[in-house]
Chain A
């Protein structure tokens, strides 16, 4: 792990280079390091995300060669890419659907981290760097969705940038909003700077991913038991054991990606984005991309605009301090019978928030009867959002800290090796 190296330069050239630029050593030590021998398929999403990031970079760089960040030409240029550029019909949806697939993978990756305690001592920095990556992904995805300059692009941009106008004018709310816009409304300058930043942020993501992986090489991977590596018998080298397992998972994931890309390219997007942006015509129902819907629901759950914005940002901020909220010494929820149940409720709450984010706040989840005027009454989506938002925050701020104090964990195996071989059960 840290400090040690598995590289022994043998030839003269390798020795010469290694003394001057140890780049082969870097590559070897990145790929050949001891990993727990019991990682399951939930651990393949890191490699899947790396592949998706590269795919997004390559398709994005090619799209940028043909895209025109101008309000009069952006929409046309996306059509030009889809209709006239060689393989543009494949590259553009690959980038758009790819963003959705990347978020799907990152959510699974994050849920896996929470379930198996991958954020806990000694991996807090891996988790925090990961959260920075996630925030950068959200900013990148949002600005990318603005670029085609369709109706959802411009109106999504108007709604999201207006969040900053919730800050009172005396506290520079207006100034900040106009600074983001580059004018007095979402227009050409906004599109231009979003394009510039949309090109910049992915490279910051790459840098953060390098830190994420570097930090991972200090304590090595967590594993389904959550037990630290104790002896060499607990481990396997990352290469070839996990490279081949990841490669298989990547191929399967790419099949799911391909299904959507080639057969359902519009299913992840919104039909209104095939209508050119029109600042004078508001769509009936403005919704963000599916991967932001839970946060959109949290935003709308709070009646006060500023408090809604604060709550929404807090819902992401709370993830940064998760390592210090989840205070149980047992990492894996496999051995935490109560935490496990609250975790699955948390996953359901996130999905429920996503569902509520896609609906109008006043729509009914289910009807319980009719009022005096004959209108159906029942649980509205805004109330469901409120209940689930309370659970979302309670999970982090109340349930996890309390469980750390109160829960009696199940016995854990003595080592990773013992858990794999099924021997020596019951030791702590």
Chain B
């Protein structure tokens, strides 16, 4: 009975989120991910390649405002190096930060100025503000990607399906100007973003072939990390807590039996 109530409550909870997957209508393409399951971790090599895809493709329009450069070298992050437990010391992280130009200020004379990025900076946004972003994209606002895989139902599969799901519009369908057809899009079937990934769009330094499928999988790995950067820590702690509670409940059950041994109940 207890189990039944729990499972029904859980089903109720899950079905709530499932309901909200309304939109374009096509079922997400289910992928096996390295981060799936209770033992899942991020595939660091894939997430590093995904960072390259984000930086060279997505970052032209999409911000990643909750991620600071040092986050990239945190424990569980794509560029974590055990030699540098403090990611601010990591030469890789410093080099990444330096590639970006940060607008800082105002200085003593009241002017804003440009400087190279440091590890403590957040990733800079491509547009100065929301209106500028809309003006450059025919009125559509490219969303911030920091939480994108958690802000969509079944987000990682959704994002993969969206990125690999561009098709020619079906015969006779009236497309609005500048829109692309994508049956996986949550907001309908017409999406303002043109297909962002094309064969060989980036050149991977590790020699991996940059197919659309590969780039989509890599950038999903990276953005899933960006949305849930403490996942590995969380799962590790979870196992420790579950094992502790299991042993504790065995002890408590033993105590219960001992205290009640002479009582018929």
Which residues of A are at the interface with B, using a C-beta cutoff of 8 A?
37-38, 41, 76, 79, 82-83, 89-90, 100, 104, 107-108, 111, 236, 240-241, 244-245, 247-248, 251-252, 254-256, 258-259, 261-263, 265-272, 274-275, 283-285, 287, 290, 293, 347, 351, 354-355, 358-360, 420-421
Pairwise interchain contact A358-B229, C-beta atoms closer than 8 A: no
Pairwise interchain contact A270-B235, C-beta atoms closer than 8 A: no
The verdict on A104 contacting B9 (CB below 8 Å), with A38-B265, A262-B234, A271-B152 known, is: yes
Q: How far is the CA of A252 from the CA of B38 in the complex (A)?
A: 19
Residues of B within 8 A of A255 (CB): 242, 245-246, 249
CB < 8 Å A-B pair total: 135
13 residue pairs bridging A and B, Cβ less than 8 Å apart: A107-B5, A244-B260, A245-B260, A255-B242, A255-B246, A259-B238, A262-B237, A262-B241, A270-B17, A285-B20, A351-B12, A358-B15, A359-B19
Main secondary structure of the interface of A (DSSP, over half): helix
Residues of A within 8 A of B253 (CB): 248
B178 at the interface (CB under 8 A from A): no
Pairwise interchain contact B150-A251, C-beta atoms closer than 8 A: no
Pairwise interchain contact A82-B230, C-beta atoms closer than 8 A: yes
B66 at the interface (CB under 8 A from A): yes
Q: How far is the CA of A268 from the CA of B6 in the complex (A)?
A: 13
Residues of B within 8 A of A354 (CB): 12
B22 at the interface (CB under 8 A from A): yes
The verdict on A262 contacting B235 (CB below 8 Å), with A241-B260, A358-B16 known, is: yes
Q: How far is the CA of A270 from the CA of B150 in the complex (A)?
A: 9
Q: How far is the CA of A360 from the CA of B20 in the complex (A)?
A: 10
Q: How far is the CA of A90 from the CA of B241 in the complex (A)?
A: 12
Residue of A nearest to B238 (CB): A262
Question: Shortest beta-carbon distance, A427 to chain B, in Å?
Answer: 19
Pairwise interchain contact B238-A263, C-beta atoms closer than 8 A: yes
Which residues 56-112 of B have a CB within 8 angstroms of A?
66, 71
Residues of B within 8 A of A104 (CB): 6, 9
Complex partner residue of A284 from B17, B22, B235, B245, CB under 8 angstroms: B22
Complex partner residue of A263 from B38, B151, B227, CB under 8 angstroms: B38
The verdict on A244 contacting B242 (CB below 8 Å), with A262-B237, A354-B12, A358-B19 known, is: no
Question: Shortest beta-carbon distance, B77 to chain A, in Å?
Answer: 11
Q: How far is the CA of A204 from the CA of B264 in the complex (A)?
A: 39
Cβ contacts B208-251/A at 8 Å (1 or 0 each): 00000000000000000001011001110111011001101100
Cβ contacts B246-263/A at 8 Å (1 or 0 each): 101100110110011001
Pairwise interchain contact B234-A79, C-beta atoms closer than 8 A: no
Pairwise interchain contact A290-B146, C-beta atoms closer than 8 A: no
Residues of A within 8 A of B15 (CB): 355, 358-359
Pairwise interchain contact B20-A270, C-beta atoms closer than 8 A: yes
Question: Shortest beta-carbon distance, B44 to chain A, in Å?
Answer: 19
List 10 additional A-B contacts (Cβ < 8 Å) besides A241-B263, A256-B6. Answer: A100-B13, A251-B249, A252-B249, A258-B245, A262-B242, A266-B17, A274-B227, A287-B20, A351-B8, A360-B19
